[in-house]
Amino acid sequence: MYEIKEKQTLAPNIYSMQIYAPRVAASAKPGQFVIVITDKYAERIPLTISDYDVAQGTVRIVVQASGQSTKKLCALEEGDKIQDFVGPLGRESEFMHLNDEELKAERFLFVAGGVGTAPVYPQAKYLHNRGAHVDIISGAKNKEFTILEDELRAVCDNLYLATDDGSLGFKGLVTDKIVDLIDNEHKDYTQCISIGPMIMMKFVAMTTKKYNLKTIVSLNPIMVDGTGMCGACRVRVGDVTKFACVDGPEFDGHLVDFDSALSRQRQFSDANLDNYITAKK
Ligand code: NAD
Ligand code: FES
């Protein structure tokens, strides 16, 4: 069992939890994820790691209460225990293989959206601490849903906040801000890393392709076992089928077939599952 050491509300229905899982914390790397199983009746929830502290033995997850399982997880409080906390899973971020000299030559642009902002934090922190140039665009519906502003600001050179309604920072989508930075501020990034809703990553990749800017996306398809056995998380990357849990979760955004990934994700939406159950009755 894995204890919730700390719980914080970041935005409506969005919670940060520090989970005591020393073995996971000791081997976690930026880009990896965990699978959380709240209790013996709960589904498996894949969550990209949002931070880890080897000394404290904790791993931070950020969860949005949306479906049945995430609501159950988010209802737990400090001191409560989670049945299973499996990880770290997946591959570490590609930039982990660059040496100091190579890192200093890169200018990273992170493009984060909504809850996907949280897993950007450990990646930006790692790169910033190693001396790389890091800019972050963090997009949210409005000011109320903007999360981790102070933490992100501490691990980058420039933090650009964007909100759909203009209640904080730039008014517009994260893709509009990418265009603004490159066209108007003449930023010359060498790579973009995008984490957020699948539809956002699709449009980020379409935008950066016009600038020939290398783009890595962190995919979050439906997952079951998380070990490459069930095929639930399959995605088309180039002409090849990949499993996000073992080959990813990060892939070349210009090669991902987002339309098929989005259509698979929709098949498992609550509304579609309700229709399926009704049709079977
Ligand atoms: P959201 O819908 O509020 O979107 C956040 C921002 O993304 C928006 O403010 C906008 O700037 C941008 N965006 C959204 N749609 C866009 C489009 N079509 N074109 C350009 N930009 C667009 O975000 P949310 O409600 O917090 O998103 C939750 C989703 O994020 C869930 O589906 C969850 O599964 C996913 N998520 C993904 C990861 C990951 O690892 N990839 C991690 C956490 C959450
Ligand atoms: Fe089963 Fe990836 S979750 S193969």
Percent of the chain residues topping a pLDDT of 90: 86
Check pocket membership of 220 for ligand 1, CB cut-off 6 A: yes
Check pLDDT > 50 for residue 273.
no
For the ranges 170-179, 219-228, 270-279, the maximum mean pLDDT occurs at 170-179
DSSP for the chain, written as a single string: -EEEEEEEEEETTEEEEEEE-HHHHHH--TT-EEEEE-STTSPEEEEE--EEETTTTEEEEEEE--SHHHHHHHT--TT-EESEEEEEESPPPGGGG--HHHHHT-EEEEEEEGGGGTTHHHHHHHHHHTT-EEEEEEEESSGGG---HHHHHTTSSEEEEEETTSSSSEES-HHHHHHIIIIIS----SEEEEES-HHHHHHHHHHHHHTT-EEEEE-----SSSSSSS-TTEEEETTEEEEHHHH-SEEETTTB-HHHHHHHHHHTSHHHHHHHHHHH-
46 pLDDT band, cuts 50/70/90, is: very high
Range with lowest mean pLDDT among 38-42, 172-176, 181-185, 187-191: 38-42
Q: Where in the chain is the domain with CATH 3.40.50.80?
A: 98-218
| Banded pLDDT at 270 (limits 50, 70, 90) | low
Q: Is the CB of 10 under 6 A from ligand 1?
A: no
- Predicted ipTM of the assembly: 0.91
For residue 272, pLDDT over 70 is answered with no
What percentage of the chain exceeds 70 in pLDDT?
95
CATH number of 98-218: 3.40.50.80
Q: Give the confidence band of 275 by pLDDT, cuts at 50, 70, 90.
A: low
Confidence of residue 184 (pLDDT cuts 50, 70, 90): very high
Every domain of the chain with CATH number 2.40.30.10 lies at: 2-89
Average per-residue pLDDT for the chain: 93
CA of 112 from ligand 1 middle (Å) equals 8
Q: Can you name the CATH fold of 2-89?
A: Elongation Factor Tu (Ef-tu); domain 3 (2.40.30)
Residue 108 — pLDDT band, cuts 50, 70, 90?
Answer: very high
Residue 262 scores a pLDDT above 90: yes
Weakest-pLDDT range from 51-55, 156-160, 180-184, 225-229: 225-229
Ligand 2 lined by 45 (C-beta under 6 Å): no
Kindly report, residue by residue over 52-74, the tens digit of the pLDDT. 999 999 999 999 998 888 999 99
Substitution candidate for ligand 1 out of 93, 121, 173 with most atoms within 8 A of CB:
173
The pLDDT value given to residue 271: 52
Is the pLDDT reported for residue 214 higher than 90? yes
